[in-house]
Amino acid sequence: MDDRSDLSGRSIPVLRITSMASAEHARAGKRVLPESIMFELCVGGELVGCWTATPQDMGLQPHELFKKVADRFPRTTHAIERCFQTFDWIGDRRVDAVRHSLPFTSLPLRIRRGLSSALSENRPEEGAEDVELWLEFADSTGLMPLVGWERILRTVTAQPVLRLPYSRVPLIVNNSRLEIAFCCTAPATDSRPSVKELRELAEKIVSSARAAAHCELHVFADRFYYEELKKQIPDNLPIHVYDPLKAAVSFDAPGAHPWRRWMVDELKGRAIDVFHTVAPARFSGQDEAFLIVARLPAISEISRDSPVPVRFVSAYEHAQFCAQFGAWATVFTSFGSADERTATAAVADGVARCRPGVVALHDSAADLFLSGVADLYRFLSEGAKKAPRNDALSVYCNPKRLAAKETTTDPFWAGILTAEVPEQLETTEEVPEWLAAAHRILESSAMLYLEPSASDSKDQASREGARDALRFVSATLAKLGKTREDIL
């Protein structure tokens, strides 16, 4: 087992969750309902407990799921059943769009008792009640990261439950200054969040990031939301709502990205720290999840027969989009039906697999009073002080972020980062977009070329070559950063 309990320099409990699928499905890379689920608890790198359950033990019955769909649409029951039989979706237990609800309600009693006992017996002495329980998902776990384990584990432990990132690359962030991009789009969907809900969400974000010496929220909403949001948000708050009609871009140009150009024009070269997205999500026929955004932010829905043209954004595309603005944290607010919220969870998990950084999923259906948003942004602005403890949140982050004393001289970056680069990023002044974005590229490159993995076939010479290249880029950034005022 890969020992990840020493990521923070301290002993942490890690619950590794692995789904056991057939070899055929594992090779095909399909998201399937698992044949069994394994739970392994490690503390300080030592295995202290192991349990196995089936989906039936946890309340997940494939045929019952199909029955719920059939009951909801009685007139189309036979047509749905024929489709399921034709494509063998029931036979191989493949997950289709109408069956992406994962009604795991709790762990079996024997696992709850065993896990609770193991956590109590192996709890560190200092600050025992505040030690986090970390979840780790294997690459082949398929649907497991989409489950709300934070809610399920609340019956087992009162500890905060966080998720280990898929990358060990440590981030260099600036908590004292938070620039937040809040992007809202709901093109032709039946389950749009209301303007009132978005306004309350925006106000809760800025009121909860009080630990930051400077916090500004930049709202980029499509035309469906813009006018009402502009009216409802008070002028005395550090919230800027930008007009989508001012988005100037040649839509006929190859590869034109209206949202990117609009945001660049309005931000005027400043970097974004947190990228918060409120957009619907859907699963494709190949079980890949996509965000759905209005292709042009200035176009509104004219009628039911003239819907807004949309763009389907993959997790990788969204991760790259956020990195271009220098964002070190990516947040998603899910809304709508259980299928839509599960698709958003799949996009968030995909982003966490693509690049280093904090990735958070906020489930609006489980956060009636926005306490989850408050906990999340207190955590993002305070860093090491307190981990979020809320059923509406799923947070991927490096345990080093919660270390007693954060340091910019992490051993991982020894011999790579020039000392000036962290100093330039951690300044209390405005950080330019190009500098923050370049560092996000350094982190992603380190994840790709330097991070060790079980399947790593790179030889030592290749790794040293990559290290030299990153060292050269870091030195170049340091030189450019010294003259950034002249460049800007």
Residues 305 and 220 in one domain: yes
Residues 195 and 342 in one domain: yes
> What's the CA gap between 263 and 293, in Å, rounded?
15
CATH number of the CATH domain containing 261: 3.40.50
pTM here?
A: 0.84
Residue 152 belongs to domain spanning: 13-60+102-163
Beta carbons within 8 Å of 64's beta carbon, 6+ residues apart: none
Q: Looking at the domain assignment, is residue 128 inside a domain?
A: yes
Residues 113 and 31 in one domain: yes
Residues 123 and 228 in one domain: no
Residues 385 and 276 in one domain: yes
- Tokens 């409990």, residue? 13
> What's the CA gap between 133 and 131, in Å, rounded?
7
Residues 306 and 390 in one domain: yes
CATH number of the CATH domain containing 23: 3.30.420
Structure tokens given for 311? 């763009």
> What's the CA gap between 308 and 298, in Å, rounded?
10
Instruction: Provide the residue-wise pLDDT of the chain in tens; the chain has 488 residues.
Output: 455 555 555 578 999 998 876 545 544 555 566 778 899 999 888 899 999 988 777 766 544 444 554 555 555 545 555 554 444 433 333 333 333 445 556 788 899 999 999 988 887 655 555 688 999 997 655 678 888 899 889 888 888 999 999 988 888 777 778 999 999 998 866 678 899 999 999 999 999 988 788 899 999 999 889 999 999 998 889 999 999 987 755 545 555 678 998 999 999 988 999 999 999 999 887 678 999 998 888 876 555 556 778 889 999 999 999 999 999 999 999 998 888 888 999 999 999 999 898 999 999 988 888 999 999 999 998 866 678 889 899 999 988 776 544 445 677 888 888 877 777 777 767 888 888 898 898 888 888 888 765 445 557 777 888 888 888 888 888 887 666 545 44
Based on its alpha-carbon atoms, the radius of gyration of the chain, rounded to whole angstroms, reads 23
Q: Looking at the domain assignment, is residue 397 inside a domain?
A: yes
Residues 122 and 183 in one domain: no
pLDDT at residue 3, rounded to an integer:
53
Q: Looking at the domain assignment, is residue 172 inside a domain?
A: no
Residues 181 and 226 in one domain: yes
pLDDT at residue 87, rounded to an integer:
43
Q: Looking at the domain assignment, is residue 227 inside a domain?
A: yes
Residues 211 and 146 in one domain: no
Residues 153 and 122 in one domain: yes
Tell me if 107 sits within 8 A of 58, measured CB to CB.
Answer: yes
Q: Looking at the domain assignment, is residue 314 inside a domain?
A: yes
> What's the CA gap between 320 and 326, in Å, rounded?
10
Count: domains in the chain? 3
Q: Looking at the domain assignment, is residue 328 inside a domain?
A: yes
Residues 264 and 394 in one domain: yes
Q: Which of 163, 198, 215 is a domain's end point?
A: 163
For 55, phi then psi, to 5°, come to -55, -35
Residues 181 and 159 in one domain: no
Q: Looking at the domain assignment, is residue 472 inside a domain?
A: yes
Q: Looking at the domain assignment, is residue 406 inside a domain?
A: no
pLDDT at residue 448, rounded to an integer:
84
